[in-house]
Amino acid sequence: MTSRQEIFSVSSSVPIQAPPFPSRNDHPVPRTGITDQAPISTNKFYANMFLGTRTQPVWIHPFSVWWSNGAPGSSQGWGLSVSHTTAEQRASPAFGPDPNADPVQYYFNPTGIQSLCLSAMELGPTSGEMTLNNLEAMSVEMKLGLCNSEEQNIKIPLIQGSGFISALYNNLSPKFTSTVLFRSVSQVGNSLKWRIQLEDGNVWLLYAFPFNAYKPALKLHLKGKSTIESRHQFDGLIQVTKVPRDERQFDTLADPCAGTWANSVQVSAYYDISCPSKIGYTFDFRLDSRSCSTNNLLMYALPHHVESLKKKTHSTYPEFLQSTTKGVMTAIVGSSWNLQEDHIFRDDFCDMNASSDTIILSKIAKIASSAREEALGDPTAESNLDSMYFAGKALDKYACLCWVICAVLKDTDLAQKTLSKLKEAFSRFAENRQRFPLTYESAWGGLVSTAMYETGDLMMDFGNGCYNDHHFHYGYFIHTAAFIAKMDDMLGNGKDWLNANKPFVDTLVRDTANVNPSDKYFPVSRAFDWFHGHSWAKGLFESWDGKDQESTSEDAYFSYGLKLWGSVIGDNALEQRANLMLAVQKRAFRNYFLLQDDNQNQPRQFVKNKVTGILFENKVDHTTYFGNDIRFIQGIHMIPVSPVSRYIRWQRFVREEWKRYFAQDPLTGDDGWKGILYSNYAIIEPNKAWNFFAADDFKRAWLDGGATQTWYLALCAHFMGSLPLEED
């Protein structure tokens, strides 16, 4: 038996039958311009191309692209517009609201700068249409074609990290426009290459590879200052890319790679039981069979990719082009990337007294006193809410409380009583009896709250009906279910509860983290973006600045819940996939979201904020969707504090953040955020945090709706007695 396991393999433990929920086939957001009939990954980078006007930018990094539809009054024409912005273009008012502040609250990158627009003489507002197909996790195919014609079109595979914008022309006469305006266009000798200089001084390269040797070679003519056109139809590949710096050096890199392109990406990973602290994963870029090379694929990697690359297996060219919100990208030549995470979070269920019996025992009396009081609570009443998010937090609150009673206090009688109440509360949701039940809707393919349908408000429950925040909402339920199943096992209750509730929880997993491309009910990896290394929370809402996320901690808690659920159902592939997600998240958070003083990827004048707040694809704003209080902005990246918090929030960062904002106790406030801040403080000062939670004058008002004093006390005691995690 091999010690290696492919962790993206389809697991038999999560069957793909119809979801056990009522179904409907309608959704208030129309599915526009999509030719595929399969479920759609609603939270992916390309969503702006099927939402709203369909003309907002899409970021494939380092380039942004958008459909210019030739609307009246627009100077951008009709076709696929392409842009790339530099850090220098973030001038005032891109930093604000006070550009001289240190730190600034936000920065953004200019949008709509049309360096090039790829189109054809035959296409325009009345003659052309834009459709999408092959919508996958890291790629989508855009088609620009003549209306009602399958014979004349441009197919453009859009892949995250693309080094070229690749367009396959079919019986059309190429046309290129620019609102920046063309300074010059020149063919390089008799080659298939053109150098295009814009009036902003930037140089773009264009390559043309004909598929039909019997048709005339591509001839381009500059018409005025804004148009380059061909007088003949062309069948073949046209690629464009921006020259990032020294032209001669870049030509040497780009020329051998021109003519090679990918249509999609496959992510795979292997777990080796003989080396449990490491997991390697691969991006295999699936090349088009007509490519000129089988390996000379030019792509761009983000900083967190470069850190984890097995460097000897790749040709890398560092710091070539700027990304919008994630630092400078590195050019990589090769049809696959081999990456490895070396510090896997190996704990599954936190045995809070395994590492330090003496310290825990000295704290048992206080923990037990708190637990007995909080176990009197009513999880059924507290979770009887009209929000899946807040209901999930309430259930998880009691799951964590019960875990301390069961695993730390080892009070079997109280554990059984508390667990029984928790199961009763959970049953309302497993049986779909909550205020706004869930429904499976087949228009997009997913499990949503009926609140949107009943009220007509797309933003009910934070936009759950339009796929906002599903990994946050359902992550709490998945984590709760894993704790219940594990405690049943510890208490000798058998597997009846697990077997009865598994279909419900598995459906939540399928909605948020499906791995099976053959699942006709749910898309693959709705929330988690393997290219960016974290999830996106925004669903079916058009956005000028792209997808976004404001809570790294809830993102990681979702992965942690998947890990625990995989453990209790015996799905090792799911468990290890979640381990990999956590490791990649840790790396991405450190690079882009949680800002150590020496962070190199966010602008210098932003880093003192310590967290990004809301990170979009095109901007970063140190705020939240629910308020500008510093406790909210910093705290939403802490909640919920759990054993995995020390893994994703390393000690140096927590010290810097605490010193910057919360060293004076009054700054922590007088409500539930105070408890969140002090539980996070336990990562670096568990004794001081214990003293806060154990104080005689501790107020219940300092606990938010998803936490208990018991859980925080147990965490503090656990952190006292276990070694700090590596500061890698």
CA distance 288 to 283: 16
In the block, residue with structure tokens 């001839």: 219
Instruction: With H, G, I as helix, E, B as strand and everything else as coil, classify residue 108.
Output: strand
Of residues 141, 506, 511, 554, which has the active-site annotation?
Answer: 554
Instruction: Return contacts of 188-192, CB within 8 angstroms, 24+ apart.
Output: 192/217, 192/218, 192/258
Query: What is the DSSP-derived secondary structure letter of residue 241?
Result: E
Q: State the Cα torsion 442-571-479-452 to the nearest 10°.
A: 0
List, as one string, the DSSP characters of 513-541: H---TT-SSS-S-SSEETTTTEE----S-
Rounded Cα gap, residues 583 and 576, in angstroms: 10
Smallest CA-to-CA distance from 31 within 15, 16, 49, 18 is with: 49
If phi over 0 gives left and psi between -120 and 50 gives alpha, with beta otherwise, what is residue 61? Answer: left
Residue 545 tokens read as: 């600045």
Q: Is the peptide bond before 97 cis (omega within 30 degrees of 0)?
A: yes
Active site residue 554: yes
3-class SS shares of the chain: helix, strand, coil, % to 5:
35, 25, 45
Separation of CA 481 from chain center: 24
Determine the Cα–Cα distance for residues 190 and 310; give it in Å rounded to an integer.
39
| Tally: H helices and E strands in the chain | 17, 32
Tell me the two tokens of residue 694: 């154990």
The number of residues making up the chain comes to: 728
- Exactly one of 441, 511, 550, 617 is catalytic; name it: 550
* Pairing mode, strands 221-223 and 182-187: unpaired
528: amino acid identity, one letter: F
How does DSSP assign 313-372, residue by residue? GSEEEEEEEE-SSS-EEEEEESSEEEEEE-------S--TTSS-HHHHHHHHHHHHHHHH
| Gyration radius from the chain CA atoms | 27
* Preceding omega of 517 cis (within 30 degrees of 0): no
Is there a contact between 456 and 39 (Cβ–Cβ < 8 Å)? no
DSSP alpha helix (H) spans, 456-571 = 470-490, 496-513, 552-569
> What is the β-pairing status of strands 438-441 and 446-449?
antiparallel
Helix (H, G, I), strand (E, B) or coil at 457: coil
Contacts of 691 (CB under 8 A, 6+ apart): none
User: Which tokens go with 645?
Assistant: 């918090």
- Tokens, residue 341: 């995470």
Instruction: Give the neighbor-by-neighbor strand order of the sheet with 262-272.
Output: 4-6, 262-272, 279-287, 336-341
* Residue 89 amino acid letter: Q
Amino acid in the structure at residue 109: N
Q: Phi and psi for 433 in degrees, rounded to 5?
A: -105, 10
- 341 noted as active-site residue: no
Active-site annotation, residues: 469, 550, 554
